[in-house]
Structure 1
Amino acid sequence: MSERQEQDMHTDASRAFTTLVTGASAGIGFQVAQRLATTAPGPLVITGRNQARLDEAVASLQGRSGGPVRGVVCDQRHRTSIDQLLEALHGLPPVLQLVANVGVNPVHQQGPGRTHSTDYALFADTLTTNVTHTFYLLSRLLPAMRQARAGRIVLVGSMAYRHGLPGQVSYNVSKSALVGLKNTIVSEYGAAGIGCHLVNPGIVLNERTERLRRRLPAAEQPLPLTEAQVAEAIVSLLADANAEPRGRELDL
């Protein structure tokens, strides 16, 4: 975080804030949380679907954090689970720094399938998790950011939507929707000191993408893209005191 951001966000004691990273018990989200744990000026809250993995992540982060670290089980497929997350945030300083990292891609479990054979319920479930409930979480956090006249948001998208990666229409469409969400947040709240950015990674080298990379070798990056590289880009955007008027859309 830059000196300018610290000044903006800490003009008085009431500006102490919470950092929230969703989907952070492993992978890119955990890599982001590792980096933010050493710099976050207040509580760090991470979410995940599995309690045991979340507990392990919190224990690892606690040793490197200057402030409290809390893990909250949250399955973003369900709005009630997001409500439980919001309830768990009560009593903490307002969330003024958010990395919205949750995103499901059914192709990792089921393999690619063309648009004509994609199940409607699967398509709808993917959009609900990746878009509708991301919107819902943001809509509940934005009032506190407006009141503080400060906020940094990074949405995690994907390069898949730009290329229309074959076999994963639901994921491609869901990630394209984040462009409109990011632009709307900036146009509506940018004047209130709230910045919103979108990071679009290519296919990341990890266990979750192994099946996809095996089936679609042409989708491999010319240079391997690691989870750590994506995390560094996200944290750099959070620390950008000179945010562009409409936020940045960063393709990796």
Structure 2
Amino acid sequence: MERSTVVTEDATPRTAVVTGANRGIGAAIAQRLMTEGYRVAGISRSGEAPEGVFAAVGDMRDTASSIDAAFTAIEGHQGPTDVLVANAGINKDTLVMRMSDEEFTDVVDVNLTGVFRCVRRVTKGMIRRRGGRIVLISSVVGLYGSPGQVNYAATKAGLVGIARSVTRELGARGITANVVAPGFIETAMTQELPEATQKQYLASIPAARFGQVADVADAVTYLSSEQAGYISGAVLPVDGGLGMGH
């Protein structure tokens, strides 16, 4: 059975932008929103996106010539953004005593400042239209901690502060900002972890399994929906109980 198209009050399809939509969790989110009837665009450095998703090239480290240009291209193709899913991120893992300034600041620039740049860009239009959904993809690591990931954990924890500050600033305008915090999800990135680390995580997950990208996409789809209009500033774990609400 075909899904009904998600529309705004003027009967036009709602639009969504997913950063880092070229692979893994981002690709799954983009595909899921598309099946729900959204017009979906993806932003990535490679300019790749799943079939049917409008692809824009964008580097989270560059505001004017990259992020602004990507959103301008997207708006020209599908109109203003109703839903932003900020998923793009990198990791440069090493123990804190060995971590260089560049390894710390590079991760911050993409994972945290890059999210700020995207949020700032879309909120102007959302304010004018008095509505919008912002979903930031964090990680259980942001609240749970992880050795060798001081930089990554700091950025993922920082997303909570962004979402809650945006909620207090813009909540009265019909704009929500929430965080989804995945646990151990089977992706190319997590498969690079040593086997011993993977076994350690599995032993600590009450659900006794690793998550799938579809689990994260389900959570994002709900928080992007009209039905989630009274949920804002929340952190939704998708981790099989690993973090237990941390």
Is 1:237 the equivalent of 2:237? no
| Corresponding residue to 2:182 among 193, 201, 220 | 201
Q: State TM-score, norm by structure 1.
A: 0.82
| Corresponding residue to 2:10 among 12, 20, 31 | 12
Give secondary structure in 2 for the equivalent of 1:175: helix
Whole-angstrom CA distance in 1 between matches of 2:231 and 2:33? 24
Aligned residues: CA RMSD? 2.3
In structure 2, stretches of 5+ residues that fail to align are 239-246
Q: Is the 8 A contact 2:68 2:121 kept in 1?
A: no
Q: Is the 8 A contact 2:13 2:37 kept in 1?
A: no
- In structure 1, the partner of 2:80 is 94
- In structure 2, the partner of 1:219 is 201
Is 1:73 the equivalent of 2:71? no
| TM-fit CA distance, 1:127 | 0.5
Whole-angstrom CA distance in 2 between matches of 1:89 and 1:95? 8
Give secondary structure in 2 for the equivalent of 1:230: helix
Residue identity matched to 1:237: L
Residue identity matched to 1:199: V
Change (3 A) 1:223 1:197: same
Q: Which has the higher helix share?
A: 1
In structure 1, stretches of 5+ residues that fail to align are 63-68, 108-112
Residue identity matched to 2:184: I
- In structure 2, the partner of 1:45 is 41
Q: Is the 8 A contact 1:213 1:219 kept in 2?
A: no
| Corresponding residue to 1:85 among 70, 89, 99 | 70
Residue identity matched to 2:177: C
| TM-fit CA distance, 1:145 | 0.2
Q: State TM-score, norm by structure 2.
A: 0.84
| TM-fit CA distance, 1:211 | 2.5
Q: Which consecutive aligned stretches of 4+ in structure 1 deviate over 6 angstroms post-superposition?
A: none
| TM-fit CA distance, 1:40 | 3.1
Q: Is the 8 A contact 2:112 2:155 kept in 1?
A: yes
| TM-fit CA distance, 1:16 | 5.5
